[in-house]
Each structure stands twice: as C-alpha cells, then as structure tokens.
Amino acid sequence: MKRLFAILTACVALSISAMAQEMKFVDATKLGIHGYTKQTDKSPYYRFDHTPYEGFNNIVVSHAKKSSGLYVVFKTNSSQITAAWENTPRALGDNMTGVLQHGLDLYIKVDGEWKFAGVGRGKTRPEDNKRTHTLIKALPEGEKECLLYLPMWCELRKLEIGVDKGAYIEGLPKPFKHKVVVHGSSITHGASASRSGLTYTAQLSRNLGIDFVNFGFSGECKMQPQFLAFLKTVEADAFIFDAFSNPTIEEIKERLDNFVAEMVKAHPGKPLIFLQTPNHHSKCLSLSTYNKRKVRTEESRKMMIALSKRYKDVYYLEIENVLGEDATIDNSHPSDLGFHRFVQAYQPKIAKILKKYGIRGN
C-alpha cells in the first residue's frame, strides 16, 4: 500500500511538472497595462504618484500603490490561461472577498461582448503573497481576446500570464474609447464587489465601451487640495465625482465651491458629473447614522444644485435609495446586487450627458 501511494504521488508530481513545462509565461508589462489616471515612473502597478503633492496621509499613500482599476488586454490561441503573481502581504478586510482584494478577474470577448471567464485566486492568508492559478482551461480552438482586471486592494509586485507552450500571446490596445476619470470613495474604489470586474467603473466600461478610469480612494475622497492639484493636471474627456461619502459637512461647505471652480477652470468645456452618495435608507439603520447621512445629503444637494446652475458643464445626479434596502455588505458598501442596481440606474443618465460632448463607446 505504501509503495502504491508513493507511485501515485510520484505520478501526480510528474503530471504537475509536465503541465508546468508545457506552459510559457509572459510578463504582463510586456503586454501593456491600461487604466491609469496618469501613468507614473514608479512601479507599473502604481496608479498614482503622490510624491509631488505634500500633505497626503499614509492611507492615501498606501492606496496610491494599489493596482485598483488597472487591467491587461491580450489575444491568444491558448487552450488555457494561467497567472502567476506576487503582491505585498496584507491582512484581509472583513467586508471584501479575497478575490477582490488580491485576486484576478478574467473576461473573454464572445460575439462582440465581454463575458466573465474565471478568477485568479490563491490562499487567503496574508503571508501567502505568491500565487499561481489557472483562470480557465479547455478553451475552444481559435483566437481569444482577453481582458484581465488586476487586484483592487493590494500592492502588486509582479504578474505573469501563462499560456500553452506552443501558443501565441500578444498585448492589445485598450478596448474602450475616450477617458472618463472617476474619483471617489470606497464605493468607487470597489468595496464591496466580489471581484474587480464587478466594480461600477468596470461595468460601465464594458457596457458603454468607454474607458471609466477608477481613481477611488477608500475613506479619503474629501476634495483635498492635493487631489485637486493633481486632477487639474489630468488629461481626460470627462470627470465623475463620488465626492460626498467621505467628507464631513464642514469639509463640504469649506471645499466644494472652490473644488468645482478650479476644475471648471482647468478643464473648460469638459463635463464634470457629481454623484450623490448611494445612501442606504433602511428603517433598521441607527438613528444617529441616518440623521448624519441625511443632513450631509441635503447640504451637498443644495450646494450642487446651485453650482450646476452657475456652470453649464457641471452636473448633479441623485437617485433616491438606488441600492434598495438589501444590497449592501455592511449598510454602506454595495454588494454585487447593489452595484448592479447602481449601474442600471446611473448608466443611462451618465451616457446621456457624455453623448452631448461626443463621448461615445465602440
């Protein structure tokens, strides 16, 4: 029996070894990384170089190094797609999946539409920061166009894409037109979708064929002067702001007018779309939390209505109870159902505004 077990173990090991030998891996940076607000000369997986802007706290600095919203597009005739990646060790958040935080999310184009194909996942212990995972196998023959979303909540150090040894793999240009930068809170950052392709920015990109660039900073989107200084330098066709989830009422009163005025001046003729926080108005919500959100919403609404009348390219969108009462993880962050409702409600309104400026998808 022991001999049989040893033989079986050896066969499995040989099989795994043979499979590994049949694969070839290509560094993702050679295929091309997309989704930057502005590309840095730091790591290719950093989405923001904070160093020219003094005063950011350590949380912003940490978020700047995350690969949130970045993606790789490639074509291959491989029968399987594998990924090997390494990230900095990080404890898991209690309101997110491991796939969203440090996993990968693969889509393949079928009949002109992006279809979910598989995820890259690994052990979820923070110290297990090196992973190899087959995202999908037994693919049909022929060329496949692939869209791979990177982790939303970790610092990615290295990523390689594996395909059959005899197959080809080539990077592709971004599949989305234009560039709409979306700056916002943890909801924009991606909490709490189950995977990175289900964040609202990713869904809007695939649905409309427009590149909605994720510039979400969980807990830290407060219209700070440093963010304003950076956003004024960004080249984009439009901007969307989820600006009222993180700041206090006092910060909104102090900063909003100037933030809008400076953005209008820096980006004349470009649409600036402000979204109200998708508040969850459950009767089971604590009274103090409900009242705090209510007052903040009323104050920001009043100010935005006035600003949208003052500036012709400033827009304010609000949909009451857009998430419903059963579509958050923790009474704040949308689940997949919540993000689906959010996109279904806001997409036609956003598309209508963008169309006025000639911003259309594929």
Distance CA 174, CA 185 (A): 25
Distance CA 279, CA 171 (A): 40
The pLDDT assigned to 289 comes to 78
CB-based contact 146:75 (threshold 8 Å): yes
The pLDDT assigned to 124 comes to 56
The pLDDT assigned to 1 comes to 40
The pLDDT assigned to 310 comes to 99
Distance CA 106, CA 74 (A): 11
CB-based contact 135:119 (threshold 8 Å): yes
Residue 8 tokens read as 């079986």
- The CATH superfamily holding the domain 23-171 is Galactose-binding domain-like (2.60.120.260)
CATH code assigned to 177-356 = 3.40.50.1110
Sequence ranges of the chain with CATH classification 3.40.50.1110: 177-356
| Pick from 339, 335, 324, 340: nearest CA to 283 | 324
Write out the chain's pLDDT in tens, 362 residues. Answer: 444 334 334 433 434 444 444 899 999 999 999 999 999 999 999 999 999 999 999 999 999 999 999 999 999 999 999 999 999 877 778 899 999 999 999 999 999 999 999 999 876 565 568 889 999 999 999 999 999 999 999 999 999 999 999 999 999 999 999 999 999 999 999 999 999 999 999 999 999 999 999 999 999 999 999 999 999 999 999 999 999 999 999 999 999 999 999 999 999 999 999 999 987 555 566 787 778 888 999 999 999 999 999 999 999 999 988 998 889 998 899 999 999 999 999 999 999 999 999 999 97
The pLDDT assigned to 9 comes to 40
CB-based contact 144:71 (threshold 8 Å): no
Q: Find the distance separating the first CA and the last CA of the chain, reported in whole Å.
A: 62
The pLDDT assigned to 94 comes to 85
Distance CA 82, CA 119 (A): 10
Sequence ranges of the chain with CATH classification 2.60.120.260: 23-171
